[in-house]
């Protein structure tokens, strides 16, 4: 059942009490108010465009930053704020407040947000507790496809009061994808349709039903785990991996040589039972940048280009600081 979240009067009291802003009068509500419906069917009412936005993951931060000015973000997730591992190095200077990977309700409340965007995997009691503070909460999709990402962009843009920017950002994604696809079309057929197994410290990641499917589909390659019947949420054993015999193994990397991802991959490359797999025997090992290959925002297009770079060479080369935005 749809639930209406009435935030106008409550936000006025919260903002006044916390010295964040002035009162929101009825004329402002009539002039600038709007409603949106999140993925759970909850109708969320806004009196004005939010100015203290908080999302609770690096991927959702990255998506929102493609739609609003950094000054409208109350904080960013610590994994996006890691200067060595972020594709948005300026973000720490523009948004100095950082929250942990899984912030508590108390930590969220302390930032006095006027919009909180959460994913469905946030505990239900936490979502309800934030709403009890009279803070508008929007639940987005847990993205697994390009269509899911487009839907989230439209949802985030509507929540932020910037629907036109949402369409603009999707257009930029489509333009970048068309550019990549045009280059892939020029690759000789004998180099295409290679199978790739993504080996991640998230052992249940990489099967059918995750965004790695999109990276493979858009580069004319094959998700080896999905082809073998492995689904997102299932771990693929080494025995199953040998049976699948992928052409490539991808070990996501943060490029400092000491990350858990890098160390995790060594157990595969040094395992004698895997030595005769095509990928190991022919040393067809890729280390896509983790920030791109796991991306669930508009910047998934750079995960696609990263995959093409490994498979097809330097015609697809890119920097580590790519970021799509609709904000001028």
pLDDT by residue (tens digit) across 263-314? Answer: 778 889 999 999 999 999 999 999 999 999 999 999 999 999 999 999 999 9
Distance CA 94, CA 90 (A): 6
Domain-located, residue 183? yes
Domain-located, residue 328? no
Do residues 26 and 157 both lie within one domain? yes
Average pLDDT across the chain, whole number? 89
Q: What's the pLDDT tens digit per position in 7-21?
A: 333 333 333 333 333
Q: Starting from the edge strand earliest in sequence, which strands make up the sheet with 34-37, in order?
A: 4-5, 43-46, 34-37
Q: What does the block give as tokens for 286?
A: 């890729």
Percentage of the chain with pLDDT > 90?
80
The pLDDT value given to residue 276: 95
Do residues 251 and 131 both lie within one domain? no
Do residues 122 and 201 both lie within one domain? no
The per-residue b/e assignment along 65-87, b for 16 or more CB within 10 angstroms, e otherwise, is bbbbeeebbbbbbebbbeeebbb
Do residues 137 and 203 both lie within one domain? no
Domain-located, residue 213? yes
The pLDDT value given to residue 15: 35
Q: What's the pLDDT tens digit per position in 241-250?
A: 999 999 999 9
Do residues 104 and 237 both lie within one domain? no
Q: What's the pLDDT tens digit per position in 157-203?
A: 999 999 999 999 999 999 999 999 999 999 999 999 999 999 998 88
3-state helix, strand, coil in the chain (%, to 5): 45, 10, 45
Do residues 102 and 189 both lie within one domain? no
Task: Name 34's bridge partners.
Answer: 46
Residues 75-99, mean pLDDT to the nearest whole number: 91
Residues 8-36, mean pLDDT to the nearest whole number: 44
Q: Is the pLDDT of residue 145 over 80?
A: yes
| HEC secondary structure over 140-201 | CCCCCCHHHHHHHHHHHHHHCCCHHHHHHHHHHHHHHHHHHHHHHHCCCHHHCCCEEEECCC
The pLDDT value given to residue 205: 94
Q: Name the domain boundary from 140, 163, 186.
A: 163
State the Cα angle at 291 between 157 and 112, rounded to 5°.
Answer: 45
Q: Is the pLDDT of residue 239 over 80?
A: yes
Contact of 109 with 99, CB cutoff 8 Å: no
Do residues 152 and 234 both lie within one domain? no
The pLDDT value given to residue 155: 98
The pLDDT value given to residue 257: 52
Terminal alpha carbon distance of the chain? 39
More confident: 253 or 250: 250
Q: Name the domain boundary from 109, 131, 163.
A: 163
Distance CA 220, CA 208 (A): 16
Q: State pTM to two decimals.
A: 0.88
The pLDDT value given to residue 253: 87
Do residues 42 and 22 both lie within one domain? yes
CATH of the domain at 107: 3.40.50.1980
What total of structural domains would you count in the chain? 2
Q: Name the domain boundary from 97, 130, 163.
A: 163
Q: What does the block give as tokens for 57?
A: 């993951």
The pLDDT value given to residue 256: 58
Residues 201-217, mean pLDDT to the nearest whole number: 94
Do residues 87 and 49 both lie within one domain? yes
Domain-located, residue 107? yes
Q: In the Cβ-directed half-sphere of 182, how many Cα atoms lie within 13 Å? A: 6
The pLDDT value given to residue 255: 64
Do residues 286 and 226 both lie within one domain? yes
State the Cα angle at 15 between 13 and 18, rounded to 5°.
Answer: 105
Do residues 110 and 238 both lie within one domain? no
Percentage of the chain with pLDDT > 70?
88
Do residues 127 and 180 both lie within one domain? no
Q: In which domain, by residue range, is 37 found? A: 4-163
Domain-located, residue 106? yes
The string of DSSP letters for 16-66 reads HHTTS-----HHHHHHH-EEEE-TTS-EEEESS--SSEEESSHHHHHHHHT
């Amino acid at each position: 059942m749809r639930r209406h979240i009435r935030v106008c009067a409550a936000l006025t009291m919260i903002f006044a009490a916390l010295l964040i802003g002035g009162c929101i009068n009825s004329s402002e509500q009539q002039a600038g108010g709007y409603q949106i419906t999140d993925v759970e069917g909850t109708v969320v009412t806004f009196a004005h465009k939010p100015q203290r936005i908080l999302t609770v993951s690096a991927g959702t931060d990255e998506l929102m930053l493609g739609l609003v000015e950094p000054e409208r973000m109350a904080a960013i997730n610590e994994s996006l704020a890691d200067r060595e591992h972020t594709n948005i190095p300026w973000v720490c200077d523009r948004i100095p407040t950082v929250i942990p990977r899984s912030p508590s309700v108390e930590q969220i409340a302390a930032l006095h947000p006027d919009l909180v965007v959460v994913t469905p995997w946030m505990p239900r009691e936490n979502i309800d507790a934030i709403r009890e503070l009279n803070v508008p909460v929007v639940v987005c999709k847990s993205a697994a496809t390009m269509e899911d990402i487009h839907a989230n962009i439209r949802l985030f843009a509507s929540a932020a009061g910037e629907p036109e920017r949402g369409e603009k950002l999707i257009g930029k994604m489509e333009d970048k994808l068309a550019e990549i696809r045009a280059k892939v079309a020029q690759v000789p057929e004998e180099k295409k349709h290679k199978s790739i197994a993504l080996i991640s410290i998230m052992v249940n990641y990489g099967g059918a039903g995750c965004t790695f499917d999109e990276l493979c589909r858009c580069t004319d390659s094959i998700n080896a785990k999905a082809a073998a019947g492995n689904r997102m949420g299932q771990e693929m054993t080494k025995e199953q991996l040998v049976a699948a015999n992928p052409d490539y193994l991808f070990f996501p990397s943060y490029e400092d040589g000491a990350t858990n991802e890098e160390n995790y991959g060594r157990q595969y490359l040094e395992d004698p039972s895997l030595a005769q797999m095509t990928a190991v025997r022919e040393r067809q090992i890729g280390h896509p940048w983790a920030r791109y290959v796991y991306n669930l925002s508009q910047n998934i297009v750079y995960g696609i280009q990263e995959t093409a770079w490994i498979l097809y060479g330097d015609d697809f080369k890119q920097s580590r600081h790519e970021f799509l935005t609709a904000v001028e």
